[in-house]
Amino acid sequence: MLKVEKLVVRYGAVTAVRELSLEVGQGELVALLGPNGAGKSSTINALTGLVTPASGRIVLDGKDISHVRTEDRIRAGLTATPEGRHIFSNLSVGENLRLGAATRRDPAGVRQDIERFLSLFPVLSERFGQAAGTLSGGEQQMLAIARSLMSRPKLLLLDEPSLGLAPKIVARIFDFIGELKAQGLTLLVVEQNAKQALRFADRVYVVSSGTLRYDGPPARLADEHGLFNLYIGG
Ligand SMILES: Nc1ncnc2c1ncn2[C@@H]1O[C@H](COP(=O)(O)OP(=O)(O)OP(=O)(O)O)[C@@H](O)[C@H]1O
Ligand SMILES: [Mg+2]
- Return the ∠ at Cα 86 (arms to 131 and 53), rounded to 5°: 160
The one-character DSSP state at 131 is B
Nearest ligand by distance to the CA of 15? 1
Query: What's the rounded Cα separation, in Å, for the pair 74 and 32?
Result: 21
Per residue of the chain (234 residues), what is the pLDDT tens digit? Answer: 999 999 999 999 999 999 999 999 999 999 999 999 999 999 999 999 999 999 999 999 999 999 999 999 999 999 999 888 789 999 999 999 999 999 999 999 999 999 999 998 899 999 999 999 999 998 999 999 999 999 999 999 999 999 989 899 999 899 999 999 999 999 999 998 888 898 899 999 999 999 999 999 998 887 776 777 777 765
| Sequence-ordered list of residues with C-beta below 8 angstroms from that of 130, at least 6 positions apart, any chain | 92, 93
- For the Cβ of 194 lying below 6 angstroms from any atom of ligand 1, the answer is no
Query: What's the rounded Cα separation, in Å, for the pair 208 and 68?
Result: 27
Question: What residue ranges do the domains of the chain occupy?
Answer: 1-77+153-234, 80-151
Instruction: Count the Cβ atoms, other than its own, within 10 Å of residue 192.
Output: 17
Nearest ligand by distance to the CA of 34? 1
Instruction: Name the residue of 40, 157, 213 to mutate for ligand 1: max ligand atoms within 8 A of Cβ.
Output: 40
- For the Cβ of 39 lying below 6 angstroms from any atom of ligand 1, the answer is yes
* Beta-carbon neighbours within 5 Å of ion ligand 2: 40-41, 83
Q: What is the model's pLDDT at position 222? A: 74
Q: What is the model's pLDDT at position 224? A: 74
Task: With beta carbons less than 8 A apart as the criterion, state whether 20 and 33 touch.
Answer: no
DSSP class per residue in 51-120: S--SEEEEEETTEE-TTS-HHHHHHTTEEEE-TT----TTSBHHHHHHHHTTT---HHHHHHHHHHHHHH
Task: With beta carbons less than 8 A apart as the criterion, state whether 161 and 104 touch.
Answer: no
Task: With beta carbons less than 8 A apart as the criterion, state whether 60 and 2 touch.
Answer: yes
Query: What's the rounded Cα separation, in Å, for the pair 138 and 144?
Result: 10
- For the Cβ of 36 lying below 6 angstroms from any atom of ligand 1, the answer is yes
Residue 3 Cα distances to 20, 67, 115, angstroms: 11, 15, 34
Give the architecture (CATH level 2) of 1-77+153-234: 3-Layer(aba) Sandwich (3.40)
What's the CA-to-centroid distance between 209 and ligand 1, angstroms?
Answer: 10
The protein residue whose alpha carbon is closest to atom 26 in ligand 1 is 36
The protein residue whose alpha carbon is closest to atom 30 in ligand 1 is 37
Query: What's the rounded Cα separation, in Å, for the pair 118 and 138?
Result: 15
- For the Cβ of 11 lying below 6 angstroms from any atom of ligand 1, the answer is yes
- For the Cβ of 181 lying below 6 angstroms from any atom of ligand 1, the answer is no
Query: What's the rounded Cα separation, in Å, for the pair 74 and 213?
Result: 29
What is the atom index within ligand 1 of the atom nearest the CA of 14? 5
pTM: 0.94
Q: Give start and end residues of each alpha helix (H) in 127-188.
A: 137-149, 167-182
Query: What's the rounded Cα separation, in Å, for the pair 148 and 23?
Result: 21
Residue 179 Cα distances to 83, 143, 161, 182, 208, angstroms: 21, 16, 15, 5, 29
What's the CA-to-centroid distance between 46 and ligand 1, angstroms?
Answer: 12
Instruction: Name the residue of 10, 11, 206 to mutate for ligand 1: max ligand atoms within 8 A of Cβ.
Output: 11
